[in-house]
Amino acid sequence: MPDYNEAMVWLKLAKRDYAVALHLSETLDPKPIEVICFHSQQAVEKALKAVLAYNEAKIPKIHDITALHALCKAYTNKLLLQESAEATLTDFAVAARYVEDRSDYTEDTGQFALKQAQRVLGEVEQIFEAKA
């Protein structure tokens, strides 16, 4: 039986991270791109973990979007993350915290991260709505 309650906790946390990233993007100048990217990655990570929770799968304590997406594929094919996006988002979990690893972050990088988070959140919400 699906664990709707735990899934909703994960989804709420994902939405909160996305809201933080979006708020920072819309209100600060200069934009803290590395923080926007980090919170966008966290939103995607937690949204994927919501899918796992819903399906009562073990939720690994990892930040690897590629690995989490692979686990989710056992339950749904409605998550359309591309491999290149998975790798980039995974890098944001750690690289965004270190100056030498984020020297090439631009506003486009932040917008990419936000769009990926928004898309994944929407896809996860649609999965839950379809199963409700």
Q: Report how far residue 8's alpha carbon sits from residue 107's, in angstroms, rounded to the nearest whole number.
A: 31
Note the pLDDT tens digit of each residue in 2-38.
Answer: 778 999 999 999 999 999 999 999 999 999 999 999 9
DSSP state of 104: T
79 and 48 Cβ atoms separated by less than 8 Å = yes
Note the pLDDT tens digit of each residue in 57-114.
Answer: 999 999 999 999 999 999 999 999 899 999 999 999 987 677 666 668 899 999 999 9
3 and 56 Cβ atoms separated by less than 8 Å = yes
Q: What are the residue ranges spanned by the domains of the chain?
A: 4-131
Q: HSE on the CB side for 103, CA within 13 Å? A: 2
Fold of 4-131: Four Helix Bundle (Hemerythrin (Met), subunit A) (1.20.120)
